[in-house]
Structure 1
Amino acid sequence: MIPAINIDAALAALTDHWSPKVVARVNDQYVKVAKLKGEFVWHRHDDEDELFQVVRGRLRLQFEDGGETVLEPGELCVIPRGVMHRPVAEEECAILLVETVTTKHTGDVETPRSRSIAEQLA
């Protein structure tokens, strides 16, 4: 039997903001859940696109050209590879991410908030 994945339960198990957890793998993509609050670091993923979908709350995706995209529950946005961006959640936000298995958490930047793939799989 192939088990179902309960996204709400996976999100409820999270205790740390900005620390995504892998809940599934589809081919060469990880499906992750995360809770966000505050501002993340400016970063880019030179070789991978990144999909953000808001489950609860509101997420602003800021871009280096000064633009931004605001996501409400049920909305998603794909950040193309190479685009400098910064997620911002003024209040706690719950999201689903889809990223290539090679995607580094903070892209081209290493910070104390960076999480390795091993940490995201734990």
Structure 2
Amino acid sequence: MIPINLAQKLALFDTHWDPKVIADYNDNEVMVVKFQGEFPFHMHETTDDFFLVLEGEMIMEYEGADPVTVRAGELVIVPKGQVHRPRADTEVKVLLIEPKGEPNSGDSGKTPAPKTRI
């Protein structure tokens, strides 16, 4: 029941594609992440993916659909079962909300990030 300062949390780490849990919301984890470059194409079979861009700009690429650019202050929700890949030419800072235990890598074969708490 206290405020969480997102900028302070983001200042605690420099790694990319390494989401950090900052709060719990019902059965979900609220996380912050930094990334640059591209993540492998993947999908989440049973859950939507929530991305809120805090700083920078990302592109969400979809299999079978046009990519979309998501800028600071905008969010995109990827429906469950949709093959997608986030990417960013320069570092982007993003807030994620995912069900507890959901691997960030989906079905990509990439080793999931551990989602440590900060």
Q: So what's the TM-score if we normalise by structure 2?
A: 0.93
Q: In the aligned structure 2, how far is the partner of 1:102 from the partner of 1:59?
A: 24
More helix by share: 1
Task: Give yes or no for contact 1:14–1:34 (8 Å, CA) kept in 2.
Answer: no
Count of residues in correspondence between the two structures: 118
Moved over 6 A (4+): none
Partners of 2:117 and 2:9 in 1: CA distance: 13
SS in 2 for 1:25: strand
Deviation at 1:54, TM superposition (A): 0.4
Give 1:99 shift: 0.8
Residue identity matched to 1:121: R
Instruction: Give the drift of 1:66.
Output: 4.1
Give the match for residue 110 of structure 1. 109
Whichever residue aligns with residue 48 of structure 1, its letter is T
The equivalent of 2:29 in structure 1 is: 30
| Unmatched tracts of structure 2, length 5 or more | none
- Aligned-pair identity in percent equals 34
Q: Deviations over 1:35-84 (max 9, x none)?
A: 01001111100001110000000000000114111101000011110100
The one-letter amino acid of 1:115's match is A
Q: In angstroms, what is the RMSD of aligned CA positions?
A: 1.3
1:81 aligned residue: 80
Unaligned runs of 5+ in 1: none
